[in-house]
Amino acid sequence: MYRYSLFLFSILVFSCQSDSSTESRSTSSQSGPPNIVLILTDDQAWGDLGMHGNVFLQTPNIEQIATEGAQFDRFYVSPVCAPTRAAILTGRYALRTGTSWVTHRKEVMRSEEKTIAEYLRQANYKTGLFGKWHNGSQYPNNPKGQGFDEFLGFTAGHTNNYFDTRVQHNDKYEITKGYLPDVLTDKAIDFIDQQKEQSFFCFLSFNTPHSPFQVPDPYFHKYKKFGLEDKEAAIYGMIENIDDNIGRLSNALDSLGLKENTVIIFLSDNGPNGVRHNGGMKGIKAQVDEGSVRVPCLMSWPGKIPAGRLVKELGAHIDLLPTILDMTGIQAEKDILLDGKSLWPLLQGNEEEWNDRPIFTIQSNGLSQSYPSSIRTKQYRMVWDWANIPSLYDMMDDPKQEANIINQKPRVADSLAQIYQAWYQDVTQKGISIPPIPVGHNESPTTMCYAPEAILRGNVAFKGQFGWANDYIIDWSGKGGMVNWNIDVIEEGEYHFSMVHAATEGALDKDIFLLTAQGGVQAKLTKVAWSPNVKSPDRVKRGEVYERRWIDQTLGIIKLAKGPQQIRFQTKMNAPNLFELKAIKIVKL
């Protein structure tokens, strides 16, 4: 168990002890419990702030949160986005929640996990999420199923375009007008205005500076004038836009008279998406070194968090839920093991109430192996690379990780290795597995089975090779090509199947087969459309697929039994580049 790993840590290293409980403190005032505004950026590095030595960026509105409140000198998240988000939402390490990677359903968080939104909604908060989710696209793993009253954004790892783009608004889709981070901020401000008479939780989850690298001209050209390459100029422009939007949000809270009783929390979900200024730290996104997982974390609450406070103890994503519960006076569920602990004592300057504890990092990629990974204590970081070769660094004397001291400190290395393995065995007790797609919930009768969630057989392939978010399936002309989706039918009944696709005239009348354990349907391809990629104003060549125009065609009705099963999709094409598959849509009748 994790408590055991902390106990082992105390004996072998620092004689520290764990406190994973959330002890309520009264934070009530004449204006009631505090509102919570959580701002999360995507791929913004620790070094992407002026206050952290970036000579190009000016980020006064973000930094104002620290000026009015506190900043954490050492705050840690996961190497990639979906695991970080699961840890923030639950107060538990991502592997404990079922989240292990960023695509192929490895990003899905178990629906039984209790999130910040669910805690706060039970306490009569209104809850809204504006932006990226990335912990499951189908109910009950989506925002609606995990505690959010209002959702506008996207559930996958990224959206393909940031201007005039398609987003999900609760159970429907709509086309936005303008630059997406601006739209998300507008909607967050509208939500706050609508809920100003009661307590609210506003989660503003920006899609930037994640790729594709798209940003309005004024921001981009400003940084090009510094002589920066296009990618870095776009990233810094995206971050300045974030700063401007945070300024707008702060001004809205002021004008509504809500600032004094609102907690604002700002952080990023992982290290930089490429090499750039990051304080000289080793590592970038998707790695397990210091620069990969150390991010800015700032918090303000006027009159409650002392202005200008610098917290030097280690904090992490798992600590946000217990901290928010502490601030709002909400009790944690006694039968839920929280890996995090409330940061409230540190925010109040009570370091004597704080005991050192290790912070764990793993880049699992959905695999059942304990590396690449690392463990961070106040003094050391121990790292296991992709070959499971360990190294040890004294982070106090060597913050850039330049000197591997594992041979000089074998006892420390052995102790940390034991602690890490005990933790890994604990958080993977339920295993690392890919959950089936839930189908047939009355609360959400329509289920989309997206291409990156499929299992590919034969010659078919992902357009983008890796199957990142928004990818689609091509090359249907080879023999034996098929795709399977693992689903879990909640209720026996009849279900209507259709496909979301693109096709040329050459695909007309080709056979389409959809098979299940209970039977199947055979149809002719009758609807064709093959338009060019949607125009994308990228500043640099993207690594993701481009957006397409898709059409729907009915396939038929199949009666499905209750329980786990597989659906199989095949076509008969005699040439490549005739047909592309985006998704299968299943509607409960």
**Helix, strand or coil for residue 183?**
helix
164 Cβ contact list (under 8 Å, min separation 6): 175, 176, 177, 178
Are the C-beta atoms of residues 179 and 241 closer than 8 Å to each other? yes
Least confident of 3-7, 62-66, 266-270, 512-516: 3-7
Q: Are residues 428 and 464 in the same domain?
A: no
Helix (H) or strand (E) holding 127: strand 126-132
5: pLDDT strictly greater than 50:
no
254: pLDDT strictly greater than 70:
yes
Of the candidates 426, 449, 415, 471, the residue with the CA atom closest to the CA atom of residue 565: 449
429: pLDDT strictly greater than 70:
yes
> Which residue type sits at 241?
N
Mean pLDDT for 268-274 is: 98
Dihedral (CA of 537, 543, 549, 552) sign: negative
In a domain, residue 132? The reply is yes
DSSP code for 466: S
**Helix, strand or coil for residue 437?**
strand
What CATH number has the domain bearing residue 51? 3.40.720.10
List strand residue ranges (DSSP E) for 490-535, in order: 493-503, 511-516, 519-524
Mean pLDDT for 567-571 is: 95
Mean pLDDT for 291-305 is: 98
16: pLDDT strictly greater than 80:
no
Q: Are residues 345 and 359 in the same domain?
A: no
585: pLDDT strictly greater than 50:
yes
**Helix, strand or coil for residue 300?**
strand
Q: Are residues 8 and 52 in the same domain?
A: no
**Helix, strand or coil for residue 51?**
helix
Examine the fold and report which residue of 404, 435, 466 is the final residue of a domain before the chain moves on: 435
Helix (H) or strand (E) holding 293: helix 290-293
Are the C-beta atoms of residues 540 and 234 closer than 8 Å to each other? yes
* CA distances in angstroms from 459 to 314, 462, 524, 547, listed in the order given: 49, 10, 21, 23
Interatomic CA distance for residues 367 and 559, integer angstroms: 35
198-225, pLDDT tens digit by residue? 999 999 999 999 999 999 999 999 999 9
Interatomic CA distance for residues 556 and 566, integer angstroms: 17
Interatomic CA distance for residues 464 and 59, integer angstroms: 35
Helix (H) or strand (E) holding 213: none
Residue entry with tokens 């199923």: 145
Which tokens belong to 60?
């006064």
How many alpha carbons lie under 13 Å from residue 507 in its C-beta half-sphere? 24
6: pLDDT strictly greater than 70:
no
Of the candidates 280, 133, 276, the residue with the CA atom closest to the CA atom of residue 206: 133
Residue 566: predicted pLDDT: 96
> Which residue type sits at 18?
S
Range of the domain at 171: 35-351
Domain count, the chain: 3
In a domain, residue 28? The reply is no
DSSP code for 70: E
Q: Are residues 146 and 273 in the same domain?
A: yes
What CATH number has the domain bearing residue 529? 2.60.120.260
User: What are residue 362's DSSP bridge partners?
Assistant: 373
Residue 31: predicted pLDDT: 65
Mean pLDDT, the chain, integer = 93
Least confident of 13-27, 152-166, 328-342, 387-401: 13-27
List strand residue ranges (DSSP E) for 210-296, in order: 262-268
472-503, pLDDT tens digit by residue? 999 998 777 899 999 999 999 999 999 999 99
351-378, pLDDT tens digit by residue? 877 888 999 999 999 899 999 999 999 9
Q: Are residues 189 and 336 in the same domain?
A: yes
Mean pLDDT for 401-409 is: 98
Q: Are residues 67 and 172 in the same domain?
A: yes
Mean pLDDT for 315-329 is: 98
**Helix, strand or coil for residue 151?**
strand
Q: Are residues 344 and 427 in the same domain?
A: no
Mean pLDDT for 542-560 is: 95
* Cα radius of gyration (the chain): 24
In a domain, residue 474? The reply is yes
Are the C-beta atoms of residues 571 and 513 closer than 8 Å to each other? yes
Share of residues in the chain with pLDDT > 70 (%): 95
In a domain, residue 29? The reply is no
Of the candidates 299, 246, 395, 283, the residue with the CA atom closest to the CA atom of residue 68: 299
- Helices 81-90 and 320-328: crossing angle in degrees, nearest 10, is 30
Interatomic CA distance for residues 459 and 466, integer angstroms: 15
In a domain, residue 23? The reply is no
Examine the fold and report which residue of 435, 462, 479 is the final residue of a domain before the chain moves on: 435
In a domain, residue 24? The reply is no
186 Cβ contact list (under 8 Å, min separation 6): none
Examine the fold and report which residue of 303, 319, 351 is the final residue of a domain before the chain moves on: 351
> Which residue type sits at 399?
P
How many alpha carbons lie under 13 Å from residue 308 in its C-beta half-sphere? 0
Q: Are residues 295 and 185 in the same domain?
A: yes
> Beta-carbon neighbour count of residue 557 at 10 Å?
12
In a domain, residue 30? The reply is no
Q: Are residues 406 and 451 in the same domain?
A: no
Q: Are residues 458 and 538 in the same domain?
A: yes
User: What are residue 437's DSSP bridge partners?
Assistant: 487
Are the C-beta atoms of residues 581 and 451 closer than 8 Å to each other? yes
> Which residue type sits at 276?
R
Interatomic CA distance for residues 416 and 484, integer angstroms: 42
What CATH number has the domain bearing residue 377? 3.30.1120.10
> Beta-carbon neighbour count of residue 212 at 10 Å?
22
Cα 123 from chain centroid (whole Å): 25
Q: Are residues 311 and 384 in the same domain?
A: no
Q: Are residues 414 and 445 in the same domain?
A: no
DSSP code for 529: B
In a domain, residue 27? The reply is no
76-113, pLDDT tens digit by residue? 999 999 999 999 999 999 999 999 999 999 999 999 99
